[in-house]
Amino acid sequence: MEQFATMLTAMLRAAERLLPPGRRQWAEAARAEAVQAPGGWSRVRWLLGGLWLVAREAGVMRKVMYWTGVGAAAVVASWTIWLSWRAVRLPYFDPQAVTDRVRILAGIAAIVVLPWVGRRRGWFGPVGSSITARLVRVAGCAAMCGLGVVVVRMDSHLQRGANVGPFSLPREIVGLLPLAGALAAALPWMRSRRKKADTGALWALAATGAGTMLVVLPLQALSIGYVAAILCVTARGSSVATVSLFAGACIGVASGFAIWAVVTAWGNDDQGLIPIVALMAGLLAAPAGLIAGWARPDTGDPEESRVARMRQGAYAGAVAGAVCGLVLTYFSVVAVFMMLVGPLAGALSGAAAGALAAQYPIRPRIDGSWAAGLFVQVRAR
């Protein structure tokens, strides 16, 4: 045990260099105090605490998680490209192989480039301080990477002659030009937002570009849009409250599974199910809007509170609808339309639920406690 403690002391001494100069004295202090601890397990515990201090203050865990994520994205991209590459050589040639490669590269490029583009203005980063924001950002980006794999695997298992076309360079160019146009339009609009400039034309241009993209390159456009949305709602300056994000994400996952269970039981070949699925996604997103609306504190001004609750409800509903759409797309790529319809339906029903929450707010309990049941303790003032 003493040898282990000696080794930990050496490790702590070496790890101190990871800290900024102003923080090193604290790790040195922890190391100096270790000799006060009686030997054995007690000293080891003290030194482990010192190492934890270094890991915490130097952001080691964050760096490890970040580079693990970058590595995972690189592995997924490489694997997917290899899958599509191999498919070209196989006897049952996958006509979508090259298109898949472009899709994957577009998604990965969005994950890598968008934070870099938006960093200066804080649109996409840094990530919010809550655990929910971090989890949603990591899980969302991982889900987008995974979605690429799902699409490639599905395409590689399609038989020849299925209703898919080969890679089309003109189509990709026609799709990517509106993408560049939409970004070029969105950036000046963001810059001019505070100057009260006329944004109608820019909005129209961006909407036209996005609409064209969705028609020509649905998966590429959706993946870029989703990555941008994930980064935006989880950014520190985001106006989406943590409660809205949490409620939306949880309810979205649950409703995705629930809808898939219903669709499977009903028979998923029926085209008439599409509006029903959209309606279900909207209705199931309503509880997220309700929770977000109730969680929004009262501002004192009834109209202001109502608008704020509706807005948070719409955010939570949109998150729930988007997550639901993503889950459904995982089950069947045919449901990719839900990645677009889900957030819209969710936002509508979430806003309505937020208005309902404003109409019937939850009364704060005695002394601000939210504890349920009879045993609410009243503090003497």
Cα first-last separation, the chain: 52
213: contact with another protein by CB under 8 A: no
User: In this structure, are residues 346 and 319 in contact, taking their beta carbons and an 8 Å threshold?
Assistant: yes
331: contact with another protein by CB under 8 A: no
Q: How far is the CB of 301 from another protein (least distance, A)?
A: 18
State the number of binding residues for another protein (CB under 8 A): 30
Neighbours of 301 (CB within 10 A): 10
Toward another protein, which CB reaches closer, 22 or 267?
22
For residue 92, the 8-state DSSP code is: S
Ranges within 273-302 binding another protein (CB under 8 A): 297
Neighbours of 60 (CB within 10 A): 16
243: contact with another protein by CB under 8 A: no
120: contact with another protein by CB under 8 A: no
4: contact with another protein by CB under 8 A: no
With contacts defined by CB under 8 A, name the span among 27-35, 58-66, 139-147, 242-250 that binds another protein: 27-35
Q: Which residues contact 254 (CB under 8 A, 6 or more apart)?
A: 284
Toward another protein, which CB reaches closer, 32 or 279?
32
CA distance 107 to 220: 7
366: contact with another protein by CB under 8 A: no
Instruction: Please identify which residue in 26, 79, 167, 330 interacts with another protein, judged by CB under 8 A.
Output: 26
92: contact with another protein by CB under 8 A: no
93: contact with another protein by CB under 8 A: no
176: contact with another protein by CB under 8 A: no
Toward another protein, which CB reaches closer, 84 or 305?
305
At 8, list the tokens: 């930990």
Q: How far is the CB of 150 from another protein (least distance, A)?
A: 41
Toward another protein, which CB reaches closer, 52 or 82?
52
Q: How far is the CB of 159 from another protein (least distance, A)?
A: 58
CA distance 233 to 347: 14
CA distance 259 to 325: 10
91: contact with another protein by CB under 8 A: no
From 33, 124, 25, 108, select the one nearest 73 (Cα to Cα). 108
Place of tokens 């300056």: 237
Q: 380 vs 65, 373, 374, 377, CA distance in Å?
A: 45, 20, 18, 9
CA distance 330 to 288: 22
CA distance 11 to 259: 52
Toward another protein, which CB reaches closer, 45 or 332?
45
Q: What type of residue sits at position 216? A: V
Instruction: Please identify which residue in 10, 35, 362, 371 interacts with another protein, judged by CB under 8 A.
Output: 35
Ranges within 48-77 binding another protein (CB under 8 A): 48-53, 56-57
With contacts defined by CB under 8 A, name the span among 32-40, 141-149, 183-191, 195-203 that binds another protein: 32-40
From 31, 19, 157, select the one nearest 100 (Cα to Cα). 157
Neighbours of 74 (CB within 10 A): 13
109: contact with another protein by CB under 8 A: no
Residues that bind another protein (CB under 8 A): 23, 25-33, 35-38, 42, 45-53, 56-57, 297, 364, 368, 379
